[in-house]
Amino acid sequence: MVFDILTLFPEFFASTVRHGVVGRAAASGIIKVNARSLRDFTEDRHRTTDDSPYGGGHGMVMKVEPVARGIEALKESGGPASVVLTSPQGRLFSQPLASELASKGRLILVCGRYEGYDERIREFADYEVSLGDYVLSGGEIPALAIIDAVARLVPGVLGEPESAKSDSFSAGLLEYPQYTRPEEFRGMRVPEVLLSGNHAEIEKWRRRESIRRTCLRRPDLLQSADIPDSERAYIAEILEKEG
């Protein structure tokens, strides 16, 4: 999996390829993370990437030429890729979208800055992606989040591939509670079922706790989660008792 990034601050991504899951995957060659400066694709002596908006208004707008040239140059040198614009107007980033992007093989991530994109830049994009309903100074943080979430789904990146399947949101629900040693800490004990060795009961408990946690913390997720009718009564019971 290849992540090419077009940004005004390529140094922002330097630590990404040195640490954690992404760093290990990059070191082993499973993924590649390449950050390129948008200024490399300008043609004026000032290396200009922004200009004032037509019609007036506050702030500056990202120019179409450097972005278009950058996308085209990366495709020419590295082959086909899906282009992702980081944008507060985009599709909300989610685990299903991360899975969809992970299947692409190569992504070109364009990091927005200033007051936004020249509208014509959108003609070069396959996706517009937003982290949420808030404004950041630029698209670098969203790009990092996309890289991290997508990389985890690339085969070989995680030491235990099955762990990604139990992550929060992977099945449309929040993850169940996790515990490790010691068994007791300041009166707080690990649930007995987790110490029982009965794997069928443990899986049953985890499933019910996952549903319960989702009901209490993110009930909005229940509308799209894959929940059989046999568990709907349990959800109704939780909502009536806790809500």
pLDDT above 60: residue 20: yes
What pLDDT digit, counting tens, does each position of 111-137 carry? 999 889 999 999 999 999 999 999 899
Cβ neighbours, 10 Å, residue 7:
24
Q: 165 pLDDT band (50/70/90 cuts)?
A: low
Which alpha helices (H) appear in the chain, and where do they start and end? 20-27, 64-78, 95-102, 140-151, 163-166, 199-217, 229-242
Would 2-151 and 168-242 be classified into the same CATH topology?
A: no
Q: Which residues are catalytic?
A: 88, 115, 152, 167
pLDDT, residue 172, reads 84
Q: What is the mean pLDDT of residues 38-52?
A: 97
Q: Which of 60, 147, 161 is nearest to 112 (CA)?
A: 60
Q: What is the pTM (predicted TM-score) of this model? A: 0.87
The letter for the amino acid at 98 is: A
Candidates 3.20.20.10, 3.30.70.330, 3.40.1280.10, 3.90.930.12; CATH matching 2-151: 3.40.1280.10
Can you tell me the distance from the alpha carbon of 21 to that of 158, in angstroms, rounded to the nearest whole number? 7
What pLDDT digit, counting tens, does each position of 177-235 carry? 999 999 999 999 999 999 999 999 999 999 999 999 999 999 999 988 888 988 989 99
Cα of 73 vs its chain's centroid, Å: 25
Q: Which of 109, 114, 6 is nearest to 66 (CA)?
A: 6
Cβ contacts of 156-164, under 8 Å, gap ≥ 24: 156/25, 156/28, 156/30, 157/21, 157/24, 157/25, 157/30, 157/31, 158/21
pLDDT above 80: residue 168: no
Q: Which of 44, 32, 40 is nearest to 10 (CA)?
A: 40
Distances, alpha carbon 125 to alpha carbons 4, 36, 109, in Å: 14, 17, 9
Every domain of the chain and the residues it spans: 2-151, 168-242
pLDDT, residue 62, reads 97
Give the pairing of strands 106-110 and 82-92: parallel
Strand partners, 106: 2
pLDDT, residue 39, reads 98
Kindly report the backbone phi and psi dihedral angles of residue 50, in degrees, each rounded to the nearest multiple of 5, phi listed first: -140, 165
In this structure, which topology does domain 168-242 adopt according to CATH? Trp Operon Repressor; Chain A (1.10.1270)
| DSSP string for 60-119 | -EE-HHHHHHHHHHHHHHH---EEEEEEEEEEEP-HHHHHHHHTSSEEEEE---TT-B-G
Kindly report the backbone phi and psi dihedral angles of residue 130, in degrees, each rounded to the nearest multiple of 5, phi listed first: -120, 145
